[in-house]
Amino acid sequence: MNQETLVLGLNPAWQRLFLLDELNLGEVRRMPRAVEFASGKGINCARVLQLLGGKLILAHFLGADYGDKIFDAVADSEIRQVPVWIASPTRICTTIVTNKDIQNKETTELIEPSPELTAQEMEDFKQSLQEIWDGVPRIALCGSSPKSFDMNALTQFDFTGKRLFIDAVKDIDGLLEKEVEVLKLNMEEYCELLQRLSIPLVTSSPQFWKISAMAVLERLPIKHIVVTDEENPVRVFFVLEGKLQILQLQPPTVEVVNCIGAGDSFLAGWIYADSLGLSVEERLVKATAVGSARCEVEQPWELSLARVGAMEKELADMVENITE
């Protein structure tokens, strides 16, 4: 059975990573070391998914300046690509991680504006997708999209029989009308979704999670909502036999090197577990282990599979069903 995933990384970036002891605004600081690599939510997810053993195709827009570098970097990873070449420059994302001590790391991201698409480039994208669409059973939409991207064009594709994974919150209303296997959000994005759906945002209420998640699941055809919240428990919401189910798992404590892309790695872990036919609880464990292991290394694809396996064993009996 074909388990290939089409990863839509519509807004890639060229990443510059600086690791510093401290950063004081208003001062001149010479950087001791800079690490540069291809990045963006789609690329991060794709590289980790491949590392885990998943099969995938990465579709993305590549522009002037750094598009060639991104293409070559992904090609070196032996990931099958469907690039759509555009005139606007690919954005640069500068990440500064300050490390005064092991327990006190701060991350600052400076993200350039997204490129703007022409009408012809949008047509090129649709044509590229049409050529591969019927052959992939899984679709993963990762992150934001370029300016002028027509999300309605994506909703016009036939999603029948496909498992749709979404790690985004902006401009996805049309896709949320499809049958979504997983909507993965962080806490900030989840609150943004609630506001957009006019669902009361009363986080102080003991019933907040139950009431808000049920309201979303009643309005939209989503099978699983997954909410990550930094070092707080990961929560999964779904309906079983007409009753809301809530699972939660506390991520393990790790020595953080760089957490950028942890959510992308989490999604990769979930998709891979899904392709193996694992239970919801097992998917949550694997995804949490992958996302946590990513934080221990500089770049997402450097994570240790042995470390992931060790974390899975540690977390296996820690999933809590807090359904009332």
pLDDT tens-digit series, residues 83-127? 999 999 999 999 888 875 545 678 888 899 999 999 999 999 999
Residue 298 sits in a domain whose CATH number is 3.40.1190.20
Instruction: Enter the DSSP assignment of 113.
Output: P
Ranges 110-114, 158-162, 203-207: which has the least confidence: 203-207
Distance of CA 293 to the CA centre of its chain: 15
The answer as to whether 110 is a domain residue is no
pTM of the model: 0.93
Burial class of 203 by CB neighbour count within 10 A (0 to 12, 13 to 18, 19+): exposed
Cα separation values, 184 from 130, 135, 194, Å: 26, 24, 14
The number of folded domains in the chain is 1
The answer as to whether 175 is a domain residue is yes
C-alpha atoms less than 13 angstroms from C-alpha of 7 in its C-beta half-sphere? 31
User: What pLDDT, on the 0 to 100 scale, is given for residue 39?
Assistant: 94
Helix axes 280-294, 305-315, angle to 10 degrees: 130
The answer as to whether 34 is a domain residue is no
Going by pLDDT thresholds of 50, 70 and 90, the confidence category of residue 312 is very high
The answer as to whether 295 is a domain residue is yes
pLDDT digits (tens, 9 = 90+) for 238-252: 999 999 999 999 999
Instruction: Enter the DSSP assignment of 137.
Output: S
pLDDT digits (tens, 9 = 90+) for 282-306: 999 999 999 999 999 988 889 999 9
Domain ranges, residue 314 = 41-87+116-321
Cα separation values, 141 from 46, 114, 115, 295, Å: 11, 17, 18, 22
User: What pLDDT, on the 0 to 100 scale, is given for residue 96?
Assistant: 86
Those residues whose C-beta lies under 8 Å from the C-beta of residue 90, and which sit 6 or more positions away, are 12, 13, 14, 61, 62, 63, 64, 65, 66, 67, 70, 115
Buried b (16+ CB within 10 A) or exposed e, 238-260: beeeeebbbbbbebbebebbbbb
Mean pLDDT of 170-186: 93
User: What pLDDT, on the 0 to 100 scale, is given for residue 310?
Assistant: 97
181 or 103, higher pLDDT: 181
User: What pLDDT, on the 0 to 100 scale, is given for residue 32?
Assistant: 74
Answer left, alpha or beta for residue 123, where phi above 0 means left and psi between -120 and 50 means alpha.
Answer: alpha
- DSSP result, 261-297: THHHHHHHHHHHHHHTT--HHHHHHHHHHHHHHHTTS
Report the SS3 class of residue 323. coil
Those residues whose C-beta lies under 8 Å from the C-beta of residue 190, and which sit 6 or more positions away, are 212, 225, 227
User: What pLDDT, on the 0 to 100 scale, is given for residue 274?
Assistant: 97
Instruction: Enter the DSSP assignment of 115.
Output: P
The answer as to whether 227 is a domain residue is yes
Burial class of 133 by CB neighbour count within 10 A (0 to 12, 13 to 18, 19+): middle
Side by side, the strands of the sheet bearing 180-186 are 80-89, 56-64, 5-8, 138-142, 163-167, 180-186, 222-229, 232-240, 243-249, 320-321
Instruction: Enter the DSSP assignment of 157.
Output: S
d(CA 62, CA 70): 8
The answer as to whether 208 is a domain residue is yes
User: What pLDDT, on the 0 to 100 scale, is given for residue 104?
Assistant: 63
Going by pLDDT thresholds of 50, 70 and 90, the confidence category of residue 220 is very high
d(CA 105, CA 258): 9
Would you say residue 154 has pLDDT above 90? yes
pLDDT digits (tens, 9 = 90+) for 228-239: 998 999 999 999
Q: What is the pLDDT of the chain when averaged over all its residues?
A: 92
The answer as to whether 282 is a domain residue is yes
The answer as to whether 10 is a domain residue is no
Mean pLDDT of 78-87: 96
Would you say residue 23 has pLDDT above 80? no
User: What pLDDT, on the 0 to 100 scale, is given for residue 101?
Assistant: 54
pLDDT digits (tens, 9 = 90+) for 25-72: 778 877 777 889 999 999 999 999 999 999 999 999 999 889 999 999
User: What pLDDT, on the 0 to 100 scale, is given for residue 230?
Assistant: 87
User: What pLDDT, on the 0 to 100 scale, is given for residue 260?
Assistant: 85
d(CA 170, CA 225): 16
d(CA 228, CA 222): 17
